[in-house]
Structure 1
Amino acid sequence: MKFDERHLIQLAAVVKAGGVTEGAALLGLSQPAVSRTLSMLERRVGEPLFIKGRRPLQPTPLGRALADHGQIMLSASRKASDTVESFRVGHSGVVRLGGTPFFMDGLIASMIAEFQNLYPDVRVDQTYGYFPDLRAALKADQIDLAICPIDILDEGSGLEFQQILPGRNVVACRVTHPLLMKRKPQPAHLLEFPWIAPPPGSPLLADLRSMLLSFGATEIKIRYSGGSLMSVVNYMKAADALTILPHSVVFALRNQKSITALPISIPHPERALGLLKRSDAPRTPAVDQFARHVRTGFENLKHLIKRHEQSVIWGA
């Protein structure tokens, strides 16, 4: 015998509410409509579904058994509705995110955790890459959003870039570095120490070479290269080597009290960190919600970094 699922759902609502009027209200239906459904269902099964004369309504064993099936359907229907609503407002779904390693490790990872504390039903799938790789991944629909620094976005690229933080590089070192003992360290002093090179493909690597050449270096003393942010930080903690890092990353690590920025102004290209996505990408509420969270986080971070920069006397 085949049943109409809607009839079983109405039966479940009446049993749960203890009355036809109350059950109808639970489903947003009229009382006469639900009464007709129950009568139709009783005729179809050939057995009473409720014990006569009982108030509130008491189901018969058969009525209870059918109502249990209807309750499963009702619960599934409500879960489906909740899922749709949660997806529409960006409280569930998947965010496919790509970004440059140092920024992702130093800044974005904690923002992802904060976001998922608010929206635990959103899954974030993260990959690493630099601008050329991230651009290709966006166009191939392998990621929804990229967080990376870029110099310029070509017109007609089919991508949208929204700046979230101005670029600024600094020379990073351990907090007990000898240069910090100098009253006013100069760029020439930087050439007396070995360097840690950023990973291949990183724009920081080109920045490092350009900076040292501008200070008169004839050769670059690279002591260590290719490490992750954690390995670079751990290396610096135990050595006098220097490296170049975005100031925002050094600032984000300030509470560890292991590395800091030398108060020496250095040249660096005009570059900004931002959110990159395809112009024609379909709207995904969870991605939009995450992007808003990141923008808010960086808006707060921007003011803190600015205040910190103003408290440091940067050398010429």
Structure 2
Amino acid sequence: MRLQHLHLLLTIAHTGSLRACAETLNVTQPALTKALKQLEEEFGTTLVIRSPKGVRLAPAGELLAARAATVVREIDRAREEVEWLTRHAQATVTVGVSPAAALMLAPQAVSRFQSRWPQVRVRLVDALYPTALAQLRSGELDLALGPLPATGLGRDLEARALIDSPEVIAVRAGHPLAKCRQLADLAGANWVLTGPVQGPGDPAHLQMERLGLPPPRITLECASFSTLLAVLPRMDAVALMPRRFFESHGPRTGLAVLPIADALPLTTIHLFLRTDSPLTVPTQRLVDAFVNEADALRGARS
């Protein structure tokens, strides 16, 4: 199997047409058909299903394409790293960051990194829990920062704990419950679930049942904290969010923090890496920058 075969399979998946695939790869359609036949003979199964509407990958083709995408990305990264090392060309590191990680770690870590490595382009991607890990596995991200999934990790990923992110309970300014000091006072409140279940915005983390209280009554679900900022100031609802996120956005959008005396949860921000792929030199340097920034923040708190 050659690299051209991998590009062939990925292009078929993208175009859904042998003719369009041939045009994209700048080969004749008979040559493409021959290469596809060779690939199917090598694997001993059908990889592409043809129909009057075009072509699509068979189940075996989809499995192979997923692996092919990773291989192609790794080869592209290898070329980029060699050019960066030998010709001082520009390299790119793509980082998935959760909202809390973006606020707590990214500004200083990226700034210091780029002052030391100006030829490296850093791409920060909003990557919400837990989709960031899927993007990391597929190779779309070089590393990711965010909370550890409740279900844990597989052997293909490594997690390094960096820093704790405290949570707060936020409401609109003037909310009838704005002066509540105990979780028990929120027993009848309407709650917002922000992001996925078990994510940082899930009020289930409050474990109100341990206080003999009913579980939070979820009346609204928001896909992201940005969406929450748009709707919470106009609702009589209660939401859990990272303290740094509130400090950056809450007051100017008309939100207030409840002065709850009970202990509130902490979300630990982790750094995630693939274990089956070596880090490029620029990626390792950026990992070091995030780790150093987390160490500095912990030292400032102590």
The TM-score range, normalised by the shorter chain, is: 0.5 to 0.7
- Aligned pair partner of 2:286 in 283, 287, 290: 290
- Aligned AA for 2:85? V
- Aligned AA for 1:285? V
Match of 1:78 in 2: none
The CA distance in 2 between the partners of 1:255 and 1:266, in whole Å, is 22
- Aligned AA for 2:100? F
Check whether the contact 1:106–1:253 (CA below 8 A) recurs between aligned residues.
Answer: no
Residues 144-155 of structure 1: matches in 2 within 5 Å?
A: 144-150=142-148
Match of 2:91 in 1: 93
Check whether the contact 2:171–2:232 (CA below 8 A) recurs between aligned residues.
Answer: yes
Residues 91-240 of structure 1: matches in 2 within 5 Å?
A: 92-100=90-98, 102-103=99-100, 106-107=103-104, 110=107, 114=111, 118=115, 119=118, 121-124=120-123, 126=125, 128-131=127-130, 133-150=131-148, 157-181=155-179, 185-204=181-200, 206-208=202-204, 211-218=207-214, 220-240=216-236
SS in structure 1 at match of 2:187: helix
| Structure of greater Rg | 1
- Aligned AA for 2:94? R
SS in structure 2 at match of 1:168: strand
Check whether the contact 2:178–2:256 (CA below 8 A) recurs between aligned residues.
Answer: no
The CA distance in 2 between the partners of 1:227 and 1:139, in whole Å, is 22
Match of 2:61 in 1: none
- Aligned pair partner of 2:246 in 246, 250, 256: 250
Percentage identity across paired residues of the two chains = 18
SS in structure 2 at match of 1:196: strand
The CA distance in 1 between the partners of 2:191 and 2:274, in whole Å, is 37
Query: Once the 2 structures are TM-superposed, how far is the Cα of residue 196 of structure 1 from its aligned partner?
Result: 1.6
Query: Once the 2 structures are TM-superposed, how far is the Cα of residue 99 of structure 1 from its aligned partner?
Result: 3.8
Check whether the contact 1:95–1:123 (CA below 8 A) recurs between aligned residues.
Answer: yes
**5+ unaligned residues in a row in structure 1: which ranges?**
1-80, 308-316
Query: Once the 2 structures are TM-superposed, how far is the Cα of residue 240 of structure 1 from its aligned partner?
Result: 3.7
Check whether the contact 1:170–1:266 (CA below 8 A) recurs between aligned residues.
Answer: no
CA deviations 1:218-272 (Å, max 9, x no partner) are 464434312422221232333342111233433444774844533323454x752
The CA distance in 1 between the partners of 2:205 and 2:161, in whole Å, is 25
TM-score, length basis structure 2: 0.56
Check whether the contact 1:115–1:290 (CA below 8 A) recurs between aligned residues.
Answer: no
- Aligned AA for 2:125? Q
The CA distance in 2 between the partners of 1:111 and 1:255, in whole Å, is 23
Check whether the contact 1:122–1:286 (CA below 8 A) recurs between aligned residues.
Answer: no
- Aligned AA for 2:160? Q
Check whether the contact 2:179–2:258 (CA below 8 A) recurs between aligned residues.
Answer: no
- Aligned AA for 1:168? P
Change in CA separation of 1:298 and 1:86 when aligned onto 2, cut-off 3 Å: farther
Query: Once the 2 structures are TM-superposed, how far is the Cα of residue 110 of structure 1 from its aligned partner?
Result: 4.4
Query: Once the 2 structures are TM-superposed, how far is the Cα of residue 194 of structure 1 from its aligned partner?
Result: 1.9
Residues 68-87 of structure 1: matches in 2 within 5 Å?
A: 83-84=84-85
Match of 1:47 in 2: none
Change in CA separation of 1:299 and 1:267 when aligned onto 2, cut-off 3 Å: same
- Aligned AA for 1:262? L
Aligned residues between the structures: 218
The CA distance in 1 between the partners of 2:150 and 2:197, in whole Å, is 17
Check whether the contact 1:164–1:272 (CA below 8 A) recurs between aligned residues.
Answer: yes
The CA distance in 1 between the partners of 2:112 and 2:123, in whole Å, is 10
The CA distance in 1 between the partners of 2:159 and 2:87, in whole Å, is 27
**5+ unaligned residues in a row in structure 2: which ranges?**
1-81
CA deviations 1:147-204 (Å, max 9, x no partner) are 111167969724322211125333223455444445xx11111224322211234523
Change in CA separation of 1:147 and 1:277 when aligned onto 2, cut-off 3 Å: same
Check whether the contact 1:96–1:124 (CA below 8 A) recurs between aligned residues.
Answer: yes
SS in structure 2 at match of 1:263: coil
- Aligned pair partner of 2:268 in 267, 272, 283: 272
- Aligned AA for 1:147? L
Alignment root-mean-square deviation, CA: 4.0
- Aligned AA for 2:127? Y
Match of 2:36 in 1: none
Check whether the contact 1:138–1:145 (CA below 8 A) recurs between aligned residues.
Answer: yes
